[in-house]
């Protein structure tokens, strides 16, 4: 049987199986979608051992960068960002793609970022997902981008990805508390790419009314920072909307068909309800 899967660590919280299963069913495909807990150390051996029935993989943390050497081809965007969240397997050849960029843009546009056209963005976190967010910001026409992270240098960092794309971003150290607060207060758009709870320390920052906010977290929702944005009159895109849209793009890469986004969204909403997560956006 043809199968696809999500790989990452930890992985039990993933809702990718829900949206992919709904997509394949809507397309009339008798495909299976699996979930594998794969650590950073085991990621490359896992790819090297894939059987011929595997058509594709959704790749989540911490494996978006470490799998690249195991791939036969890497799409231009994914190569420039140094971040692969999608692997397509055809006749044993593995090709890496990045659909996170699409997911970020689509999730933010759902809450009106496309019509309001924010000009200043702050990204919290400096890893693989942050690299994708930088590319998404440029697609949205945002040139004033600040990155708040504990590490800014070297391959794999968001700042390094920006340099590869010939983009200028402002690197702000995580412990530069005053500077972080100042930039968050001026931001029209904020994206948090860090795990749940890590950005709680910024949840007392004065924010612009109507600020747009995307938190890639969806397992422990709402985060304290998301709640703070709502209390300040901001508009919030939860991480599961990014997941939905990047997953929709993955399905097309895996199957060559356009799945019904509404069917996938309905399946996701049901799964969120079963987990006791309130599916509402600011």
Q: Please identify every residue annotated as catalytic.
A: 64
CA distance 261 to 249: 10
List, edge to edge, every strand of the sheet that includes 235-238: 170-173, 144-149, 120-124, 189-192, 212-215, 235-238
For β-strands 144-149 and 120-124, DSSP reports them as parallel
Burial category of 262 from C-beta neighbours within 10 Å (exposed 0-12, middle 13-18, buried 19 and up) = exposed
Apex CA 194: angle with CA 218 and CA 96, to 5°? 85
CA distance 165 to 172: 19
DSSP SS3 for 55: strand
């Amino acid at each position: 049987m043809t199968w696809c899967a999500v790989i990452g660590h930890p992985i039990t919280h993933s809702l990718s199986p829900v949206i992919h299963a709904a997509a394949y069913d809507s397309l009339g495909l008798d495909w299976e979608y699996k979930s594998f807990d794969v650590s950073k150390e085991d990621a490359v051996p896992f790819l090297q051992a894939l059987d011929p029935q595997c058509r594709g993989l959704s790749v989540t943390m911490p494996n978006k960068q470490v799998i690249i050497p195991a791939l036969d081809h890497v799409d231009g965007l994914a190569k420039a960002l140094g971040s692969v969240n999608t692997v397509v397997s055809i006749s044993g050849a593995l090709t890496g793609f990045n659909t996170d960029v699409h997911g970020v843009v689509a999730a933010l546009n759902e809450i009106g970022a496309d019509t309001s056209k924010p000009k200043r963005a702050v990204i919290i976190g400096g890893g693989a997902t942050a690299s994708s967010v930088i590319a998404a910001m440029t697609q949205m026409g945002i040139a004033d981008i600040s990155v708040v992270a504990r590490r800014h240098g070297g391959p794999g960092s968001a700042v390094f990805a920006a340099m590869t794309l010939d983009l200028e971003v402002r690197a702000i150290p995580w412990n530069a508390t005053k500077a972080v607060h100042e930039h968050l207060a001026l931001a029209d758009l904020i994206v948090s790419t860090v795990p749940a709870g890590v950005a709680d320390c910024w949840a007392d920052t004065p924010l612009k009314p109507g600020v747009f906010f995307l938190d890639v977290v969806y397992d422990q929702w709402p985060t304290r920072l998301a709640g703070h944005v709502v209390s300040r009159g901001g508009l919030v895109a939860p991480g599961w909307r990014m997941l939905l849209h990047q997953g929709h793009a993955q399905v097309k890469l895996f199957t060559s068909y356009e799945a019904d986004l509404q069917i996938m969204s309905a399946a996701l909403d049901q799964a969120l309800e079963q987990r006791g997560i309130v599916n509402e956006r600011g």
